[in-house]
Structure 1
Amino acid sequence: MKIQNLEDLSAFLQVAETGGFSGAARRLQVPVSVVSKRVARLEAALGQRLFQRSTRAVNLTEEGKGLVPKVQRLFGDLREMEEQFANSQDLKGPIRLTMPWGLSQGPVAKILTEFRKKHPLVEVQVHFSDALEKLVEGGFDLAIRFSTMEDSSMVARRLGPNYLKMVATPAYLKKHGTPKTVKDLKAHPLLMIPQHRMRKFQKSGVTLNELQSTPSVITNNGLFLVEIAKAGGGIAIRSHWDVVDLLKRKELVEVVVNDRLESSNDAYIVTPSNRYMSPRVRALMDALVEEFPKFLKTEPN
């Protein structure tokens, strides 16, 4: 038996983790035919079939299942060795980050800008999606998610709490009056995404949906709702990091009534694996965890 190079083992591991040759090819940035050739070469060297292939699926054989943890340990040891001797000032290479559209404005852009100043050879590829993208299959290194993180296969670090705030322009409130109680909100268009309709006020238990008696704009784009509020179209209900800069600039002001909305899920930075994280990905994850809370208030009003 003679394994010719690590590329064959890498191709095998990528197919095993992504569940297919196409996913492995995307992660390795090579044609599918190259991945297939490398896996076939490894199977020939080992004298064992590692995958059962069909037109619909690729499944590991028992021999393949036994090989996966061994190869993972091998590449984990190699990465740890590289990290041990790596100069953090010379980090380079791509990082693929996915996060919700709601974070396209706010602290993340500022953090990434400062990170790039320190590590100009790192290319950060940002993908926006409100869907829960599959990290391994999509080839993502990191994801920012609003979740309780029930998926034990993911490694997550908390970025901060997610408080909902009600905001409007000073001109709108001057013209239409400032609500003082939960019931007062019925007289105003409430701008919210569908996911927030059943959000309750903590003391009364009243939902935002029960207060939506005035016709409003319906959309799944929270940033668009902020723009509607800025144009004087009503009171927007948004996560505090979506509006923190606008509140500081006094373009919007917070509407505070006699009850407080329950908070949404906290924000987390998520990665498929902590053991095999490259130095550049670890550096960005550390930067987000350290800097993200500095842009936010730690307590709701």
Structure 2
Amino acid sequence: MPRTEVNRFAEMEIFARVVEQGGFSAAARVSGVSASAVSKLVARLEARLGTRLVHRTTRRFQLTPEGQSFYERSVAILADLAEAERSAGAGEKPAGRVRINSSASYVSHILAPILPRFLERYPEIALDIVQTDLVVDLLADRTDIAIRAGPMPSSALMARKLGSTRMTIVAAPVWIERHGLPRTIADLDRQERLGFGYARAVKGWPLRTAEGEGLVLPTIGRVRMSDGEGIRRLALAGVGPARLAAFTIRDDIADSRLVPLLEDANPGDEEEFYAVFIGQSASLPARARALLDFLAEHGQVA
């Protein structure tokens, strides 16, 4: 095989993950590829080097002396490559277009107010902002940074936490006038409730009974919405009660546009927010790293 057709750094990176994760399947999970693809890559690497790097059976995985030596040299080379990329990126002026994918709630209440400061600081950066609460494939969507809420699943994506926010059940005064103020969980259970039109990590509204027991109230209603900001607007219009992030409704509550419901039954759970991206933050293009660092400093939710 011609030398130009071999991606030696990719081979080293996958082999290092195999060693560090203790096997092909675990390395495949963190790399976002199939176990068979990892196995074939290591087999091709062994064939090209003309030596066995690992002894593997259905139950055991063990490095050969040659494999141990290759692993140690690979880790050193990969570290040198990362340092070279960091040095190159440090001297690069942030410029170009950054594509960010975010929920409408985060855009409206967090990103929009801080955006003028970012654009003034980085006049050569342009932004494409895509609003959706749905999880997107960053590679397929050509997304540089995505803002996601909820627990981060195990994946090959990297993440930087942007804080967490308390969840609160609220309703508009006009809805309360029509249906009455719910004073117990049973009162609320008799009413239609606004919910999301897609599967979420928490499938309902967590509550705590007067006896301290936890339960989850399903979001049963005729109206569902695909994003949190849309649900907030429906709640403001008196369509029904909703369970929303505190940072999106803090001003609404302060101005009496929304009223908290059953706060004594609120378990106090919080929803976490993350900026997620592919690869290490140090190796991101300067334009994307500038936005990531800015969000970490100014784009925190609470």
> Same fold by TM (over 0.5)?
yes
Cα offset, 1:252, TM superposition: 2.0
- For the residues of structure 2 that align with 1:81 and 1:254, how far apart are their CA atoms? 51
Work out whether 1:222 is the aligned partner of 2:231: no
Give the Cα–Cα distance (whole angstroms) in 1 for the partners of residues 121 and 255 of structure 2.
28
Letter in 2 for 1:135: L
Q: Is residue 290 of structure 1 aligned with residue 297 of structure 2?
A: yes
Q: Which moved more, 1:182-191 or 1:240-249?
A: 240-249
Deviations 1:165-219 (A, max 9, x none): 112222332443322322221343321226354332143323222x85xx54233
Aligned partner (choices 179, 184, 204) of residue 213 of structure 2: 204
Change (3 A) 1:283 1:167: same
Correspondence for 1:54: none
Q: How far is 1:287 from its partner?
A: 1.7
Q: Secondary structure at the match of 1:163?
A: strand
Are 2:253 and 2:259, in contact at CA under 8 Å, matched by a contact in 1? yes
Q: Structure 1-normalised TM-score? A: 0.64
Cα gap change, 1:79/1:125 in structure 2, threshold over 3 Å: closer, same or farther?
farther
- Residues 219, 78 of structure 1: CA spacing in aligned structure 2 closer, same or farther, 3 A cutoff? same
Question: Which residue of the other structure, out of 268, 272, 281, is the alignment partner of 1:274?
Answer: 281
Structure-2 change in CA distance of 1:252 and 1:144 (3 Å):
same
What is the percent sequence identity of the aligned residues?
A: 22
CA distance in 2, matches of 1:217, 1:146: 22
Shift of 1:138: 3.6
Distance 1:247 1:278 in 2: 40
Q: Which residue of 157, 162, 170 maps to 1:167?
A: 170
Q: Which residue of 2 aligns with 1:79?
A: 85
Deviates more, 1:191-200 or 1:231-240: 191-200
Quote how far apart the aligned CAs of 1:159 are: 1.0
Amino acid at match of 1:178: L
CA distance in 2 between counterparts of 1:229 and 1:160 reads 25
Counterpart of 1:19 in structure 2 is none
Cα separation, 2, equivalents of 1:123 and 1:75: 28
CA–CA separation in structure 2 for the residues paired with 1:267 and 1:217? 26
Aligned pairs for 1:119-138 within 5 A: 119-138=122-141
SS in 2 for 1:201: strand
Q: Distance in 1 between matches of 2:159 and 2:262?
A: 33
Distance 1:222 1:104 in 2: 11
Structure 1 residues 275 and 289: CA distance shift in structure 2, 3 A: closer
Q: 1:94 to 1:74 in 2, by over 3 A?
A: farther
In the alignment, the residues of structure 2 paired with residue 159 and residue 251 of structure 1 have an alpha-carbon distance, to the nearest angstrom, of 27
| Distance in 2 separating the partners of 1:141 and 1:157 | 13
Residue 276 of structure 1 and its aligned partner are, at CA, apart by 0.7
Unaligned runs of 5+ in 1: 17-56, 297-301
In structure 2, relative to structure 1, the CA distance for the partners of 1:247 and 1:257 (3 Å cut) is: closer
Q: Paired residue for 1:188, among 191, 200, 216? A: 191
Quote the residue 1:241 is aligned against. Answer: 247
Query: One-letter code of the match for 1:112?
Result: L
Kept in 2, the 8 Å contact 1:163–1:264? The answer is yes
Question: How many residues align structurally?
Answer: 245
TM norm structure 2: 0.64
Equivalent in the alignment of 2:151: 148
* CA apart distance, 1:149: 2.6
Secondary structure of the residue that 1:275 maps to in structure 2? helix
Question: Which residue is 2:34 aligned to?
Answer: none
Secondary structure of the structure 2 residue equivalent to 1:106 = helix
SS of the residue corresponding to residue 289 of structure 1 reads helix
Contact 1:198 1:208 in 2 (8 A): yes
Confirm or deny that 1:252 pairs with 2:261: no
CA contact (8 A) 2:133 2:227 kept: no
Counterparts of 2:129 and 2:77, CA distance in 1: 29
CA RMSD in angstroms comes to: 4.0
Counterpart-to-counterpart distance in 1, 2:255 and 2:139: 40
- In structure 2, do the counterparts of structure 1 residues 233 and 161 end up closer, same or farther at CA, with 3 Å as the change threshold? same
For residues 9-42 of structure 1, give each alpha carbon's deviation from its aligned partner in whole angstroms, at most 9, with x where no partner exists.
Answer: 9xx79x99xxxxxxxxxxxxxxxxxxxxxxxxxx
Letter in 1 for 2:130: H
Shift of 1:117: 1.9
